[in-house]
Structure 1
Amino acid sequence: MKFRLLFPFLCLLFCLPATAQPDISHLRISLLTCSPGAELYSTFGHTAIRVTDSTRGIDMVYNYGTFDDRDPNFYAKFTKGIMVYALSNYSFSDFLREYQYEKRGVIEQNLALSGDEKLHLYAALQENAQEQNRFYNYYFHSDNCTTRARDVIAQKAGAAVVFKNILPQKTPTYRNLIHTYLDKNNQYWSKLGIDILLGSTFDKKVTNDEAMFLPDYLMKGFDSATANGHPLVAQTQTVLAMTAEPPAGALMTPLFIFSILLIITGLLSFSTNSWAQRCLNVFDCIFFLFLGICGILMVTLWTIRIDTVCRNNFNVIWALPTHFFIAFVVYLKRRWLQQYFRVVFALTLLFAVSWFFIPQQFNMAVLPILGIILLRSYFRGNLNKKDAAANNSTKVLHSSKSVNIEL
C-alpha cells in the first residue's frame, strides 16, 4: 500500500531533470574574426561575438571595440593612455554591411557549448551591455576588443576552456607581432612612428595568452582550444570572403628618404661653398628642431601614460629633448655650443655601436638619421677648427699675392 502511494511521486521525481533542461538548440553563439583593413586603425583586424536565436528572430553582434571620438578630451586622454571603449550590441546585418563596404573578410567559429553554458554566456553578454557595465579602459596589447571577447567566453560560459600553444618555435615579442601586420599593409611611416615612440617594454616576449590580443591569434587559439575536454569550435565558416587591398608599396619609404638626406647632407657638410654653409644652417635648425620635438614627445609619453608601452625608450638618447632649444641658436659660434655638439656626437656614436646590445628593437630607418646626427654634430663641434683652417687658407692666399706683387 505504501509502495503504491510512493510510486507516482518517484515517477515524478525521475521526470523532473528531463523537464528542467530546456531545449536551446535554437541558440547559437560564435566568434567573429575580421580580416585587416587598409587603414592604420584596422591594420590588425577585429573580433566580435555573434548571438543567434532562431525562435525569437535574434541575430545580434556584441562588439567590444566601439568608442566615442566626439569627447572633447579624447586626444588628451589618448595621449595619457586613457582610452574608454564600450561594448555595443547591434544587428548582424549592420555589422556585416560595414565590412562589405571596407572589403574585409569575416570568419565565423561556432562554439560547441552546452545548453547551460550558452545561457550563462548570453546572460553575461546582456549584463555587460548594460549602460552601467559596458565601458572599460582600453589597452592596445592587454585589454582590447579581442581579449575581452576571449575572456567573457572562457570565464563566463562556465566551461573549462584550455588553450593549446599557438606560438611559433621562435617566441615573438609584441613588436614582432605588430610588425608583421604593418609590413603586410605597407605602413612604413606608421611603423617608424610606432617604433620610435614605443619603449623597450614592448620588446618583451609574449606568452601564449598574451599573443591573443591579436584577432588572428585568438582565432588560432580557439581552433586549438578545448572546452571540458572537447573541441571548443564545432564548425568554422567563411561569412564574407573578401580581402582589403593594402596601400601600394611606395618607393618613398623612411629608409630611402633619410638615406638620400644623409648623402645630400654629407656632400654639403664637406663643401666649403658659402651657399652650402647657409643651406646647412637652415637644415640644422629644422633637423634638430624635429629631433627635439620627437624627444619631448617620447619623454612626455614615457612619464604621463598610465600604461607601460612607452617606458624605457632608448630612442631618447639620439632624440634629446634639448635639441628643441638648441635648434634656435644652432648657427651661433659659441664655445658652449661646440661642447654641446661634441657630447651629442659621443652619445650618438655610443648608441650606434651599441645597436645590437640595447634591449630594444630599433627601426632600420633610424640608421641614416644617426648618420646625419653624427655628421652635423661633428662639424658643429669642430666649427672653430674649420674656421681656423679656412682663415689659414685665406692668409696663405694673401701671402702668395703679396709675393707676386713684390716680384
Structure 2
Amino acid sequence: MPLLHRALALLALIFLGALGSAHAGVANAPAANLQITLITYGPGDTYWERFGHIAIEVKDVVDGEAVSFNYGVFDFDQRGFLLNFARGRMHYLMDAAPTALDEGYYVQAGRSITRQRLAFTPEQAAALREFLLWNLRPGNARYDYDYYADNCSTRVRDALDKALGGVLRAELGHTPAEMTYRQQTDRLMSAQPWLMLLMDLGLGPYADQPLTAWQESFLPMVLQRDLRQVRVVDDQGHSHPLVVAEHVVSPNRLDPPPARAPDLRGPLALAGALIALALLGMRRTMPLAFAVVGTLYLLAAGLVGLLMLALWTLTTHHSAWANANLLLFNPLALALIPALWRARRGDSTPRWVDGCLLAQLCAGLVAVLLHALPGLVQQNQPWLLFALPVWLALAFTLRHMRAPAPH
C-alpha cells in the first residue's frame, strides 16, 4: 500500500513491539483460536493502484485481535528511489497493521473490500502465523519487487501455498490463465489511455507468453477468484472448498476496469493511416506543415526507441527486453529529421538518407515476418498497423518531394 507509507511503517514498528509482549492475541494465541482470511481490495484511481491490493488477516477469535499482513509498502522518499525505479530495482516492504485501520483507508478511498475466510487447519494457521511474523522482522521485510513475478499478490499467494503444503501451486499451476500479462495490463490501465499505450508499446514478448492461473494470480482480483475453485483436505481426510465464506465488506464506488482488454488495432491503424495521409497530402501544398508533422513523428519514434533500447540493455525490467517494436521505433529515425527540412526546401537529399530509409523499411518487414513466425510471438499488431503506413509515406515523400520553399 503506497499511500501513508511513513505512518504505516511507524505503526508496523509499534505493532511489532506489541507482538513481542506477553498479552493474549495473534502472536501467542493457541493454534485452535486462529482464523485466516484473505482480504482483497479493488483497483484505485491512481495508476499505481490500478492492479488492486491484497492482504492476509490473522485473527484470534477468542481475544478478537485481527491483524492484516501485506507486501505492498514502498517509500517515495527512500534514497535513490527514482533511480532504482528507472533501473527496475524497486525495494518493497512487508507491513502489518490492525485490520480495521487498513480497511478504513480503503473504505474512504471508495475501493471495494472483499473478505474470504479460508479453511486452514489449526496447524496450518499456526505455521502461516509464524512465517508471517518471521517475515515481518526488519531484516526479512524488504524484498525486490517485480510487477508480474514478485509483487504484493504473489507474496501473499506464496505464503498461503507454503502453509497449505503446496496445494495452490498444484491446482493453479496446471490451469490455463484467461489472459496474458499484456492483456491484463491493458485492461487495468485503460482508464489512463496514454499510459496504457506507453506501457503496451514498451512491453516485449515476455508479456505475451501463455500463463497458468498460478502466474496470473499476480493480480489480487484473479487470486481471489481462483481460490474459489481450490479444494483442500482436512485432518479427517475430507475434501472441501478452501474458501469457507465470502462477503463484500465495502462495495466499489469507483469506475471498475473493463472485463476484457481493449482492442488497440483499429484505433492505432486509423491513427497511422491519418498521419500517413497527412504527410502525403501536405508534401507539395504545405511543405512547412509536412516538415513539422514529419519531425514530430521522427522525434517521437527516435526517443521512444532510445527508451526501449535502454530498458533492454540497462535495466532489469525483463518484461521490456527484446522488444520487437524497436524495429519500428528506433534511434535511426532521429537521423532523418534534417532530410525532412531539406525536402521542404526542395533540396536533394544525401545518398545516405536512401540507405536509412531502406534500412527502416527492411526493419519493418522483419517485424512483420517475426510476427508471422510460429511459437512465442510478441502481440504488437497494433503498432505494426500504426507505424508501417507512416514509414511508407515518409519514404515516398522523401524520395519524390522536390518542391521549392514558400516565399
| TM class by smaller structure | 0.7 to 0.9
CA distance in 1, matches of 2:231, 2:279: 65
Report if aligned partners of 2:269, 2:382 keep a CA contact under 8 Å in 1. Answer: no
Q: Give the AA of the match of 1:161.
A: V
1:189 paired with 2:199, answer no
CA distance in 1, matches of 2:78, 2:231: 41
- 2:358 corresponds, among 334, 342, 347, to 342
| Deviates further, 114-123 or 229-238 | 229-238
CA distance in 2, matches of 1:159, 1:345: 54
CA distance in 2, matches of 1:344, 1:270: 22
Q: Give 1:77's aligned residue.
A: 84
> Cα deviation per residue 1:151-202 (whole Å; 9 max; x = unaligned)?
11221x26452453598878643223333333xx434322211121111122
Q: Give 2:280's aligned residue.
A: 269
1:223 paired with 2:228, answer yes
Report if aligned partners of 1:44, 1:214 keep a CA contact under 8 Å in 2. Answer: yes
CA distance in 2, matches of 1:178, 1:167: 22
Provide the aligned C-alpha RMSD in A: 3.0
Pairing 1:195-344 to 2, within 5 Å after superposition = 195-228=200-233, 229-246=239-256, 256=267, 259=270, 262-263=273-274, 265-271=276-282, 273=284, 276-328=286-338, 330-332=340-342, 333-344=349-360
State the percentage of identical aligned residues.
25
Aligned-partner SS, 1:224: coil
Count of equivalent residues: 357
> Cα deviation per residue 1:298-330 (whole Å; 9 max; x = unaligned)?
111111222521112100001112223443554
CA distance in 2, matches of 1:307, 1:365: 21
CA distance in 1, matches of 2:290, 2:144: 47
Pairing 1:150-161 to 2, within 5 Å after superposition = 150-155=157-162, 157=163, 159=165, 161=167
Q: For residue 134 of structure 1, report the CA deviation from its aligned partner.
A: 0.3
CA distance in 1, matches of 2:267, 2:223: 35
- In structure 2, runs of 5+ residues without a counterpart are 1-28, 234-238, 259-263, 343-348
Report if aligned partners of 1:192, 1:254 keep a CA contact under 8 Å in 2. Answer: no
CA, structure 1 residues 56+306, in 2 after alignment: closer, same or farther (shift >3 Å)? same
Q: Give the AA of the match of 2:245.
A: Q
Report if aligned partners of 1:292, 1:319 keep a CA contact under 8 Å in 2. Answer: yes
TM-score w.r.t. the length of structure 2 is: 0.78
Q: Give the AA of the match of 1:224.
A: Q
| Deviates further, 318-327 or 255-264 | 255-264
1:34 paired with 2:41, answer yes
- 2:142 corresponds, among 105, 123, 135, to 135
Q: Give 1:123's aligned residue.
A: 130
Q: For residue 102 of structure 1, report the CA deviation from its aligned partner.
A: 2.1
Q: Give the AA of the match of 1:200.
A: P
CA, structure 1 residues 244+347, in 2 after alignment: closer, same or farther (shift >3 Å)? same
Q: Give the AA of the match of 2:218.
A: F
CA distance in 1, matches of 2:30, 2:256: 46
Report if aligned partners of 1:32, 1:49 keep a CA contact under 8 Å in 2. Answer: yes
CA, structure 1 residues 132+48, in 2 after alignment: closer, same or farther (shift >3 Å)? same
Report if aligned partners of 2:299, 2:333 keep a CA contact under 8 Å in 1. Answer: yes
Aligned-partner SS, 1:239: strand
Aligned-partner SS, 2:318: coil
